Amino acid sequence: MRLIIMRANRNKLLVSLLFFILLFSSPLAHSAPSGVGDIGDEGCLCHGAKSQLTSVIIDGIPQDWAANNSYEMSIIINSSIEISGQENARIGGFRLIVDAGDVIFAENNHTQVINEGYTHTSQGNQYRQWNFTWTAPSSNDSVVNFVVFGNAVNSNGQSSGDAWNYYSTTVAGEGYTGVIEQPADYSSKFLNREIALLLFAVISLVGLFYYSTK
């Protein structure tokens, strides 16, 4: 009887470990064709590591900005990932974070706001360029941070085979007299997240193997 109970407990533990592996890795297993929230603030991790196959820029950012002025800008994704010729194919997506000023996109049905950031809709991911107007704050004595994560999609309906990258910059107002810090570098953050995931998976698999052979 004790042996049966021990095996039952072991099976429960195996199931629990497997559940937590799947739960922990689930953000990496699903794409977000209808837009991405603050989970995208760490990058498009569900599509793997960032890739030099894709570059992302925000075109039109001024060298410095004047209070209350409006600037026409564009998020542009360039990638070697081929654009599908299928009708209404999903080819790209983004997550934009701007910490001051007002952002208005040219096509309302192509973009939306989720968790205080701007992202594509299911219609908006049929593009790799999104145009918007940014209106500067009413006081020009501060700095504004722009961060955008962009993903080039291969239209296979899966998170595999896509390639993403990011762009980050800090722009000062005309009246700012302080020191402009370097924009955030997300590369090490992504690397640390990937290493942590790998270590967790290895430890979990070793545990599963150990208990399954006892």
Intervals of CATH 2.60.40.2410 along the chain:
32-183
| Crossing angle between the packed helical segments 187-212 and 2-25, to the nearest 10 degrees | 160
Closest CA to 65 of 118, 144, 130: 144
pLDDT score recorded for residue 52: 86
Most confident of 47-51, 82-86, 110-114, 191-195: 110-114
Instruction: Check pLDDT > 90 for residue 181.
Output: no
pLDDT score recorded for residue 6: 46
Instruction: Check pLDDT > 70 for residue 8.
Output: no
pLDDT score recorded for residue 88: 85
pLDDT score recorded for residue 30: 46
CATH number 2.10.210.10 is the correct assignment for the domain at 32-183: no
pLDDT tens profile 22-65:
444 444 444 566 555 545 555 554 555 677 889 999 999 999 99
- List, in sequence order, the alpha helices (H) in the chain: 2-25, 187-212
